[in-house]
A and B are shown apart, each in its own frame.
Chain A
Amino acid sequence: MDPVVELDSLEVRFGPRTILNKLKASLTGRAIGLLGPNGAGKSTLLNTLLGFHPPAAGTARIFGRDIRTHAREVRGLIGYMPENDSFIAGMSGVRFVRMMAELAGLPREHALERAHEAFFYVGLGEVRYRALGTYSLGMKQSAKLAQAIAHGPKLLFLDEPTNGLDPPMRTRMIQLIQEIRDRGDLHLILSSHLLRDVEECCDQVLILKDGRIAAFCNLEEERRLNRQFLEIETRGGANGNFLETIEKLGCETATGAQGRVKLILPEGLDVRRLYEVAAEQDVQIRRLNHKRDSLEDIFLKAMETPKEPANGSL
């Protein structure tokens, strides 16, 4: 599959600070999640792809077009929903979206028609003639989504789309994003620090930490692999030896608080074997839960790994 976004040793600096550090990845998914703690570089990456920040080194390509040399063409393919409040306070919602669609190149009549459609689509049909400054936070988020999709982009950048939304509005926003994704007309990149948002909407995830790629995973594939993910709670004995022994058996482990261990069983290894090892090590297994390999686990593992650039190719 042709990559949607290719990061080719992309480096961005703000003065002496390196914000994005030699990112290398090839993203092909229909819905790509950008995850990371605050300050990891998610928004900077989106802004760089939009041409707001010039790369200090390397480059990136969107649908094969270099962001350095084809910036205008690239922006023509993108719809952008920024993280912060971005609107023109005195303008009515529909006029604002119409203007944005016209700036993207739509003729006046088409822009007006699409602005109305986009407003109805995001659920703001009834308030489309009201000034944007009077909108609630949730309505502003929806209006931002409307302006991002009105011109029919090929790639949608959603920067923290559920920020500040109450649960029903959040659910509505996630549903909209899923609907847009499932239509298959466009690709989307969703940047968020909320794991649930990304897990619900994305099939690929790029995890950033301190401006580097900490992990890159294909959620779809992870789900398909159906690996056995367990969480156990142990008491007594030398827990370190127990973990060492089960790792020798091929298990991937991660220790949590109060004797909790998360582990992935390799194929062919039966759970009974864990009990046997525990008995040999004089360790009690007090609780054992089967878990799905969640994004949270992938994320936590990525956050634990020391600083070294990960390759984001799939």
Chain B
Amino acid sequence: MLARIALIAGLLIVLIVVPPFLGIGWQNALTNMLIASLFAMAFNLLVGQAGLLSFGHAAFFGVGAFATLHLMGAIEDRIIAFPTPLLPLAGAVAGILVGAFAGYFATMRSGVYFALVTLAIAELFHSLAPHWDGLFGGEAGLSSMRMPWAGLTFGSPLQVYYLALGWTVVSIFLLWAYTRTAFGRLTLALRDNEQRVRFMGYNAHTTKVIIFSISAMFSGIAGALLAVSNETANYSLFSTHVSAQVVLHTFVGGSTVFFGPAIGASIFTLFAFYISEVTRTWLLYQGLIFVLVMLYAPQGIGGLVQTHIQHWSKISWPELGRAYAVAAAVAVCLTSALVFVVESFAIIFSPEYAAVRGRLDGAWPPFKLFGLEWEVFSPFTWIIPLGLLAVGLLLLPTARRMLRETWNHILERAEAARIAKSEIQLAGAVES
């Protein structure tokens, strides 16, 4: 418990102290990371805790952004005076109103149908918005400017970052507090067994609408922060891509753990920021990571971390260390082979390479990768990824076996401890 608080406090200190020393690019990336994390946490309230998979959460994110921009425009035109740091409130209000309305209809259905309703709602916004000039600014969207307040100009990305940090921390704290309330427990109960909740006397539909609205509210705040940061919004905020990204982030991070979605969102946002400068195939890597997590680590990264923390005392570090070393070697081999092949193909099949070939009348010139030159049809080029692949595949069964055995031992020890503890309790009960 104390360790957890210390960890969070440490993270907060880093987030507060470090950014002034980073460049503007990194500050902006961190702001995006915070926004994505908040969005994912809000999304997870619905998915992880209430068990309602929504494919159209971009609707509330976008609505929050547009509402905030309208407010910003009103401040800019001196129609009303409103403190700039409180701008995301507009997003919250818009989110909760639209969320309640949409949620009322969406929660009439469950499962796949619910997902499809949310998808349809988001798509409705996406196709209507470019035609609706007044509310959504048409295809160009709305644009405004942050106005100074109380001596702060909000002109630099650093000030925007601190604003986003403040709102994100407060929102996540509220979301955490939510889980500690009785209503928060009810949310979990709704996911586990809705029928029983109804038999207990609660109106399941109303409960779901409230949860949906709260999730939409925090999504609206996230959208508002994006609007404040970019000072613009257009209909593309309602696209399936935005809804897809939050789903990816949440599940890679782990929807069963509270901080999972934030972890997933942070990793992917920073990954995208760094990798997209280097290669254009990063979306492919993102999809592959997602599918691999879905297949082999359905609890996500957060779930993995939590499992480790849960069984911390039962872990035999030498054994686990060995297993992880082999697994890491396998991962490195397979990943390198994959990256090599994908990047090579990206170059070979790119229009630039085709242009170079055109200039050389159809010859296949060598291409540059990782600072070295490679011949397209030479076995020396392809022996490297093939070799790495072979080594990785050869070691894979060993790694799997070692991991499985290690975790079996850990779980056995945990089970033994649990039995011992319950025996002591039984003995104590019998005695008394």
Do these two chains interact? no
Residues on B facing A (Cβ under 8 Å): none
